[in-house]
Each structure stands twice: as C-alpha cells, then as structure tokens.
Copies of this chain bind each other. A is one copy, B any other.
C-alpha cells in the first residue's frame, strides 16, 4: 500500500464515466476499508466471507468453500486453521465419508459475524456518501437481484460441477 494511511479516497473522472471501472474501484476501496473496518471484530475480508457462507449456506466441505471463494483449497485450509484456533468454527469429520470435513460455525463465531455485519454495512453506506438512505437501499437491491441468478447453480444440494 502506497503509504496512505487515512481513508482519503479519490477517484478519477475517467472511472466515474465507466461503469465497469466504477464497480471494480468500489470493490477495491471497500476491501481496503475492510482491513480497517473489520479490525474491530478481529476478522479480515476473507474470514468474513467464510463465516457468512458457513452461517447462511449451512455447514459445507472445505472444497465447497474453495469453490465459492474461487480460491485454491490450500488457501481455505489456512483460513480455517486460523478460525478454528480462535474457536470461531469447528471441523467435524463426515461419518458418511471420513475424507470430508464439515465446517460449522460456533456460538462465538456467530457473535463475531454479527458484529462484522454491522461494521461492513456501515462501511458500505459510508463508501457511497453521495447517496440518500433510499438510494442506498435501491443500490443494495439491484446488486442482489442482479447477481441472484448466479446463486441458483452451485450452492444448493446437488448441483453439477
């Protein structure tokens, strides 16, 4: 990071005029903030994503996590190692297939996730400082509805590879 420190974000007019660049930039800025914002909950952006998946989508295998995060299995192993050491998740071998390990969220993990949700929501709203509360709701709705079709395949019980 080029020695900025503060959150004095700035954006080019070129990016402002191009939706694709805008979206990429917004994601970048949000992740930058996440390091600061989520620090209060002891999580980084990846741990936040993992906890959210386990809580909402149900206990999954580590390979399922790797697929949803679009990261190599080795990355997930390290992340789960850390979360488990802190008592936020637990690994339990699947009796039906003892190669698999189901990852479940603990009570402490649920609490930390709730706090992280609060911080992340606030960071999202703060990023789009130019919008009213009503426009922020509309933005959230459009993002969710637009990407919803991608959740159809892949998350449920037995979707194909």
Question: How often does this chain occur in the complex, in copies?
Answer: 2
C-alpha spacing A104/B142, complex, angstroms: 37
Query: Is A99 at the interface (CB under 8 A from chain B)?
Result: no
What sequence of 0s and 1s flags, for each residue 2-45 of chain A, a beta carbon within 8 Å of any chain B beta carbon?
10100011111111111111111111101110100000000001
Interface of A is mostly: helix
Query: Is A130 at the interface (CB under 8 A from chain B)?
Result: yes
Query: Is A155 at the interface (CB under 8 A from chain B)?
Result: yes
What sequence of 0s and 1s flags, for each residue 126-149 of chain A, a beta carbon within 8 Å of any chain B beta carbon?
011111000110111011111111
Contact A131 B144 (CB under 8 A): no
C-alpha spacing A136/B143, complex, angstroms: 10
